[in-house]
Structure 1
């Protein structure tokens, strides 16, 4: 008879299970290799004594175009300019999920059951966070002040110039800071037809566990993702720049545990996951007063009304290309 500490009839060790989960990338290899995630565990550490929100203070860049140097002519005083800055707020995301052993029975026939369970649940959380990230970027790009970061293609389909144009429009002379392109499978197919898809090898110490070969377009690492890139009327492609998203994993006291319910279906093993993470688009601020509970729902987190632009728009490394489905003529 199953006992607490087992799952699917196999002994369940939370530390072994979590070790297998940690062996795989937090997101896909593509997202990690692109450099868009800036790991900042100081965000998580600030929550060690409780709470779900925090504030990051920043100084605005010094710009000689708006604050020119003075002429050192022997008579003019060198009057200092006060450095300006601001702050942006971020919020912790807490989620939970549970599975019955019967849902993973086929996988549990593997030679290494804990690795099989970790592979399934780890993939589940990676898919969820990737989808949430795409929805979040789409929301942020709807803010006033970021209009130059979006391009709507009125006629025609995919061209190579669209990527170049939106990068320049969004970041100007910093356009080379983009690193990731998230596209729908239909759009990726169009890029393939144009012969723009290449494959580059990446090995990043302490980030990627092995050498991986990833698709790239115009130097951008590509993520093919139908979730969040099809709004029913349009195909939306998203560009993300290096360090554009701050990420951290706050401590969870009991992230994984099992229990045996003798009454349910004649005896059922249940696996529980508790997850906490921070995804913060650098340059905007979240308004925690607009949510109903300590941690936001997906709808609250991806509602543009809950976000405000704080950086100069060129320092928000995000972009979007929208192509109406009606532009594509079926062959």
Structure 2
């Protein structure tokens, strides 16, 4: 049969792409069901009409504002106009290849290599996409200037101990007030997820594969929100404020600390306010970051590559090897946050560059002077984070 051998002569990239796409991408599918990832026609259009550029600025339409005047027959009606905001968006390109030795021999036992490889490729790129989203969120919450920093403060909810049943409601209310119901997706480390599961607050989702086998996913629901459990979430070791009676507490000393004590200079990072005072107490621990996203929090467009999948045959090396090359170009753009490309060395940003707060800012109207700018209302951005000990 044609197109059944995994070599350069018979490989059909269109058929392979079809095979990859029909394998359920469970995490991405659940993100889309939650509506946290949403298509954006403006982004799609700008990259389809500019010949494949890697960076663009798109207009965001301003909302109506201003006070209404009294309609009493003697007061002039005043008019205002909406401002246009600009948002920078960047195409994120990634590529990967895999090599197999004597692959045709491996399939003589009747293994369906197409489904097997397609399944692995799909899951691999699913993980890459999630890493990209997490790098972007890290960068968004690393913004430090002006109203961008104010956004970070208002959309960060810190819990002294472990998360509880009321944590999510309080965090989303602090971030977006009466718009809190738009939140629909949660990224969480397994430690706080396990604590919530022990409180019967999380419900595991299940997936049934093509063979009818049902298995639990690293996906849960919490109060109707989809929860993605991933130990790639930020988990930072440091010191929390404590009482002298707390287990493992250390007394802070200006210098010369002995057993049961710690020097002030060594209490870093410190997860309290300011710096710990001499003779106060701290306890070592891990602070976990949980991200909460709402409907339309991240615009997503698959820009595509000229050749997303291709095969190369090397008959000499190791007696013959086949290499599968894969490429992708996608846009993940957080709503209301602009990618400014201030620190990017090539045409596609690395995860480290995406995680750099200097590359991001709150969307504004573009005036040179800070005082002349109008910024998007922070409560319109359904993105929040929760900091907790578990």
Report the TM-score when normalising by structure 1.
Answer: 0.85
> For the Cα contact (< 8 Å) 2:193–2:229, is it kept in 1?
yes
Name the structure 1 match of 2:178.
173
Shift of the 103–220 alpha-carbon distance from structure 1 to 2, 3 Å rule, reads farther
> For the Cα contact (< 8 Å) 2:102–2:321, is it kept in 1?
no
Shift of the 267–287 alpha-carbon distance from structure 1 to 2, 3 Å rule, reads same
Secondary structure of 2:17's counterpart equals: helix
Secondary structure of 2:166's counterpart equals: helix
Q: Does 1:323 align with 2:388?
A: yes
> For the Cα contact (< 8 Å) 1:53–1:92, is it kept in 2?
yes
Shift of residue 30, structure 1, vs aligned partner: 2.2
> For the Cα contact (< 8 Å) 1:5–1:258, is it kept in 2?
no
Name the structure 2 match of 1:195.
200
Secondary structure of 1:46's counterpart equals: helix
CA distance in 2, matches of 1:116, 1:12: 15
Secondary structure of 1:31's counterpart equals: helix
* Structure-to-structure mapping, 1:303-314, within 5 angstroms: 303-310=356-363, 311-314=376-379
Moved more, 264-273 or 192-201: 192-201
> For the Cα contact (< 8 Å) 2:42–2:58, is it kept in 1?
no
Q: Does 1:298 align with 2:355?
A: no
Name the structure 2 match of 1:20.
19
> For the Cα contact (< 8 Å) 2:293–2:384, is it kept in 1?
yes
Name the structure 2 match of 1:89.
88
157, 161, 174: which one aligns with 1:151: 157
CA distance in 1, matches of 2:69, 2:106: 70
Secondary structure of 1:238's counterpart equals: strand
Q: Does 1:54 align with 2:56?
A: yes
> For the Cα contact (< 8 Å) 1:7–1:270, is it kept in 2?
no
Q: Which has the higher contact order (CA 8 A, sep 6+)?
A: 1
Q: How big is each residue's C-alpha offset from its partner over 1:77-129, in whole Å with a ceiling of 9 and x where there is no partner?
A: 11211212311110001111110024989995664211211111111000111
Name the structure 1 match of 2:233.
228
Shift of residue 226, structure 1, vs aligned partner: 1.0
Secondary structure of 1:47's counterpart equals: helix
CA distance in 2, matches of 1:184, 1:6: 41
Shift of the 81–320 alpha-carbon distance from structure 1 to 2, 3 Å rule, reads same
> For the Cα contact (< 8 Å) 2:62–2:83, is it kept in 1?
yes
Shift of residue 34, structure 1, vs aligned partner: 0.9
Shift of residue 5, structure 1, vs aligned partner: 9.6
Shift of the 257–18 alpha-carbon distance from structure 1 to 2, 3 Å rule, reads same
* Structure-to-structure mapping, 1:231-246, within 5 angstroms: 231-232=236-237, 233-246=286-299
CA distance in 2, matches of 1:302, 1:24: 30
Q: Does 1:272 align with 2:325?
A: yes
CA distance in 2, matches of 1:10, 1:284: 46
Shift of residue 9, structure 1, vs aligned partner: 9.6
Shift of the 304–189 alpha-carbon distance from structure 1 to 2, 3 Å rule, reads same
Q: How well do the aligned residues superpose, as a CA RMSD in angstroms?
A: 2.8
> For the Cα contact (< 8 Å) 2:292–2:383, is it kept in 1?
yes
> For the Cα contact (< 8 Å) 1:107–1:117, is it kept in 2?
no
Name the structure 2 match of 1:139.
139
Shift of the 111–262 alpha-carbon distance from structure 1 to 2, 3 Å rule, reads closer
Report the TM-score when normalising by structure 2.
Answer: 0.73
Shift of residue 44, structure 1, vs aligned partner: 3.4
Q: Does 1:39 align with 2:45?
A: no
Shift of residue 322, structure 1, vs aligned partner: 1.2
Shift of the 130–195 alpha-carbon distance from structure 1 to 2, 3 Å rule, reads same
> For the Cα contact (< 8 Å) 1:6–1:269, is it kept in 2?
no
Secondary structure of 1:21's counterpart equals: helix
Secondary structure of 1:169's counterpart equals: helix
